[in-house]
Amino acid sequence: MADIFDVVADATRRVLMQVLLERSVSGQSEAGEISVGDLVEHLGLSQPTVSKHLKVLRDHGLVTVREDGQHRYYRMDAAPLESIQDWLIPFLSTDSNSADVDGTDDEAGSAAFSAWAGADVGDTIGRRIAEGSHQARMALHGASDKLSDASGAVAGKLPAGVRRRLFGER
């Protein structure tokens, strides 16, 4: 089972959590809830995609669900994020106390952390995997076409009796 860091590492889940958080603090609904259908419409994703990510968030306690007939309403529960906050505090405390002797902040360390924190590694890796998969699929498709053409050419040169036995031709 993935830990909380794996859960929030996914860009789609972070967007879902942001929408749920905005809903809970804006008071758009009395309980800070939003339906799956509204999330689908708001994010422009398919219903199965949204539901899959909501299940992961629910399994890790980041959202709660209320069922009303066939409708499900989700609400943010930020309590599990405390483990991330607890893990980050020493880094943030060190960063805020990292003034040089001359009183300047250690901007390089802060900039490096900010760059790392803002990087969307999952999206980059996902795109690379998708590109590689597409290239492999195109290569296999091309090879399949060439093989089909070659076997057709060879079959055309076979005597009629052999073609009938091999391919069931009449």
Query: What is the per-residue pLDDT across 54-77, written as a single tens digit (0 to 9) for each?
Result: 999 999 999 999 999 998 999 998
- pLDDT band at residue 114 using 50, 70 and 90 as cut-offs: low
Average pLDDT taken over every residue of the chain:
77
What are the C-alpha distances in Å from 137 to residues 19, 62, 133? 36, 37, 6
Better pLDDT: 143 or 34: 34
Is position 141 within any domain?
yes
- Residues 75, 8, single domain; the answer is yes
Domain residues for the domain of 141 are 121-167
C-alpha–C-alpha distance, residues 15 and 45, integer Å: 11
What is the pLDDT, as a whole number, of residue 127?
66
Looking at the DSSP assignment, which residues form a beta bridge with residue 34? 74
Is position 135 within any domain?
yes
Is position 111 within any domain?
no
- Residues 12, 74, single domain; the answer is yes
- pLDDT band at residue 89 using 50, 70 and 90 as cut-offs: confident
- pLDDT band at residue 6 using 50, 70 and 90 as cut-offs: confident
Region 29-42 average pLDDT: 86
Count how many domains the chain has.
2
- Residues 71, 8, single domain; the answer is yes
C-alpha–C-alpha distance, residues 75 and 103, integer Å: 44
Domain-ending residue, one of 30, 64, 80: 80
Give me the CATH number covering residue 67: 1.10.10.10
Query: How many residues in total does the chain contain?
Result: 170
- Residues 73, 129, single domain; the answer is no
What are the C-alpha distances in Å from 50 to residues 13, 16, 45, 98? 9, 8, 7, 41
Is position 89 within any domain?
no
Is position 115 within any domain?
no
Is position 108 within any domain?
no
pLDDT digits (tens, 9 = 90+) for 118-154: 555 555 666 666 676 677 777 777 777 777 777 777 7
